[in-house]
Amino acid sequence: MKHTLNKNKQEILQAAQKQCLKHDLRFTSKRSNVLQLMLHENKPLSAYDIMADYKTQYNQSISAVSVYRMLDFLIHAQLVHKLASSSQYIVCSHITCHHAHETPQLLICDTCHQVEEIGIGTLLTSELEANIAATGFKLQHQQLELHGVCSSCQKLH
Ligand SMILES: [Zn+2]
Ligand SMILES: [Zn+2]
Ligand SMILES: [Zn+2]
């Protein structure tokens, strides 16, 4: 799904709150703080980056365990995605979108480390799923991570 990404933090937060309400999930102030911090940084962060940032921004120490718990919640609520290749976390780019969340295809720039999230079309995913189903494998989680150089970094060369 191609669209212009919403960069308005307030709108993203409101949409996140709504999304949690709809799915009967509690968007506590701490969870909201973590999401705000991630939106503010606007780059992939590790759990330890988040822990350190939380202390600086909110003047409150939180344990690594609670950071991981909050991240698990945010992932479950489909507000955050984990980059398996680097164990970092990014905010979902489609929180304010009205379309159903598609299988994330994460384009990771190896130069500036920005990540662009685009959805994979249903045609392609159903082909993938059919291939996998044929082997008897049970798929639980799917996401593609692709490494390369983003368009702005390419312009710099
Ligand atoms: Zn997403
Ligand atoms: Zn979208
Ligand atoms: Zn780049």
Ligand with smallest separation from the Cα of 102: 1
Residues with Cβ–ion distance below 5 A, ligand 1: 92, 94, 104
Residue 88: CATH number of its domain = 1.10.10.10
Q: How many domains does the chain have?
A: 1
Ligand 1 center–CA 13 separation, angstroms: 14
Lookup: tokens for 84: 């398996």
Q: Would you say residue 3 lies in a domain?
A: no
- Chain position carrying tokens 């120490």: 61
Beginning with the edge strand found earlier in the chain, give each strand of the sheet holding 115-119 in spatial order: 115-119, 104-109, 144-148
Domain with 20 in it: 9-155
Q: For residues 12 and 6, what is the distance between their CA atoms, to the nearest angstrom?
A: 8
Asked if residue 49 is part of any domain, the answer here is yes
102-143 confidence digits (pLDDT tens):
889 999 999 999 999 998 888 888 888 899 999 999 888 789
Is pLDDT above 60 for 1?
no
Contact of 149 with 109, CB cutoff 8 Å? yes
Domain membership flag for residue 112: yes
Does 80 fall in a domain? Answer: yes
Domain assignment present for residue 86? The answer is yes
